[in-house]
Structure 1
Amino acid sequence: MSYLNPHEFVGKMIDAGEAKAFMSTRDTLIRAYMAGAILALAAAFAVTITVQTGNALVGALLFPVGFCLLYLLGFDLLTGVFTLVPLAWLDKRPGVNLRALLRNWALVFVGNFAGALTVALMMAIILTYAFTVDPNEVGQRLGAIGADRTVGYADHGAAGMLALFIRGVLCNWMVSTGVVAAMMSTSVSGKVIAMWMPILVFFYMGFEHSVVNMFLFPSGLMMGGDFSLADYFLWNEIPTVIGNLVGGLTFVGLTLYATHARTGPARRRPAAEEFGIPEKVNA
């Protein structure tokens, strides 16, 4: 696995953020749509495996296949652009301003949501034979997830909202680490291995990913989950988006940028005599 040092891959992060800020509306929406759809399929895959095996670890071990595919295909997730595009703004790349940043985020959000919603509808049709029968065990599990992770938080009030927000922060700490880790290698195998590890952590720990939730909760509603659309947005999607932004930007983007792109001045090396070591005398 060819490895790039931090200074090199942080430069790639900034370049990627700049490229995304200037991408056309059409391309941004297409790439975001496909990213949302592929990640939604991976989530459906992981839930199916968990239900059929009774082992959540197996589902978590296999979920990263979707993330790896969408990254290698050059598609964009909201969680990734939250981390990368602001770096181009901070680096004062010409033309990358707040308007360009917000435009990118908005387009990627819309594209991700449309892609995830498409797969949610397709899975609902499959699991209910086009809504003519009750959902099977996988469909019932999707409905239960939606209720547990909306009204389940609401039952705890402010403490539940804080827990939800922190889960969003931790999620994109791991997911954005996966995005960055892929830039550390120049080989496909190296990228996949590097991405797989943090994505496994986020999924198994039950952290909140805004794009995964764009699939889980609409599909849960279609499966008869005991929660409402308002519950979904207020008690999951909106706080999760904010948590994902804070987690990815604070713990991944800004920390790497600050210490590898805008490195602080090195401390002065003390002269030998300051330690009582006599200078060498040339013969």
Structure 2
Amino acid sequence: MSYVKPAELATRMVDAGESKVYLSTRDTLIRAYMAGAILALAAAFAVTVSTQTGQPLLGALLFPVGFCMLYLLGFDLLTAVFTLVPLAWLDKRPGVTFGRMMRNWGLVFIGNFAGALTTALFVAIYLTYAFSADAGAIGEALQKIGENRTVGYSAYGAAGMLALFIRGVMCNWMVSTAAVGAMLSDSLPGKVIAMWMPILVFFYLGFEHSVVNMFLFPIGLMLGGDFTVVDYLLWNEIPTVLGNLVGGLALVGIVIYVTHGRTRPSRSRATKKSSTTTEDIAVVERTDTKQAAQ
């Protein structure tokens, strides 16, 4: 079948979270590294398309190619493990402890960051001929992204921090919907379609994705952006990671797990059962009364 029903989807999600916990350190790092590198390249591609055509929507339409590639190859993003691994812990799968969950998150973060940073260095080298020339319009666009989404938030103080956090929440609402949506189909076209739509929404609306930002801000600094590493960490990466965690887990993972993995009996069935029980009791009472009279 090409479509997987939600009840089976919930089981697949828990199984996926459990399998990630048991991956070796080597495999976890490799898969996370490649996910970060591929997603970063897709971000560079989307920024290039948007800059050269002047059409941000076109860049957003094409960006999901990176997410689809890394997912189909079995690589891991921090945003996805935020959503899936806790479900295996909540389901009390054998050996899935809080410590192992945190270990998985930490390794995936390191791998994603290393991969994205590698791509950032590669792109900076090719744009500037190994830092010997100006990066041109694309480089300027990358610098502005880094500046607008760090010091741009800090200019608004607490309100800016809240906006940044909410953008992180909404980002992983969409990204995790894509990762989970891919499990709804066993066919390649079905998986790609399910992933493409929410990733398009997140990228075009400018939500904050922790792994994409692991590329955008380091390359912005490499190309001379007017912000610092501290600006990047405090006014983007850390709040974005927290927002991604809340969005993916609260709005996707737990919602599907609770309503499809731990479904309560429907009200109509419960009422019918209760009504039947009441009728049975009444019959017994009438029988007892009749026997007593006799």
In the TM superposition, 1:39-188 aligns within 5 A as 39-188=39-188
Matched letter for residue 55 of structure 1: Q
Q: Measure, in 2, the Cα distance between the counterparts of 1:264 and 1:238.
A: 37
- In structure 2, runs of 5+ residues without a counterpart are 279-294
Q: Measure, in 1, the Cα distance between the counterparts of 2:20 and 2:69.
A: 19
- In structure 1, runs of 5+ residues without a counterpart are 275-283
- For residues 177-200 of structure 1, the C-alpha deviation after alignment (integer angstroms, 9 at most, x for no partner) is 000100000000000000000000
Q: Which residue of 2 aligns with 1:198?
A: 198
Higher helix share: 2
Structure 1 stretches of 4+ moved >6 Å:
none
- Shift of residue 264, structure 1, vs aligned partner: 1.9
Q: Measure, in 1, the Cα distance between the counterparts of 2:264 and 2:145.
A: 46
Matched letter for residue 86 of structure 2: P
Q: Does 1:249 find its partner at 2:249? A: yes
Q: Measure, in 1, the Cα distance between the counterparts of 2:150 and 2:218.
A: 12
TM-score when normalising by structure 2: 0.91
Matched letter for residue 263 of structure 1: T
TM-score when normalising by structure 1: 0.95
Q: Measure, in 2, the Cα distance between the counterparts of 1:34 and 1:70.
A: 8
Count of residues in correspondence between the two structures: 273
Structure 1 or 2, whichever has the larger Rg, is: 2
Q: Measure, in 1, the Cα distance between the counterparts of 2:106 and 2:264.
A: 34
Aligned-residue sequence identity (percent) comes to 71
SS in 2 for 1:226: coil
Q: Measure, in 1, the Cα distance between the counterparts of 2:244 and 2:43.
A: 18
The alignment's C-alpha RMSD in Å is 1.2
- For residues 120-147 of structure 1, the C-alpha deviation after alignment (integer angstroms, 9 at most, x for no partner) is 0000001111011121110110011000
- For residues 29-83 of structure 1, the C-alpha deviation after alignment (integer angstroms, 9 at most, x for no partner) is 0000000000000000000000000000000000000000000000000000000
Q: Measure, in 2, the Cα distance between the counterparts of 1:157 and 1:128.
A: 34
Q: Which residue of 1 aligns with 2:223?
A: 223
- Shift of residue 269, structure 1, vs aligned partner: 3.4
- Shift of residue 150, structure 1, vs aligned partner: 0.1
- Shift of residue 262, structure 1, vs aligned partner: 1.1
Q: Measure, in 1, the Cα distance between the counterparts of 2:123 and 2:14.
A: 37
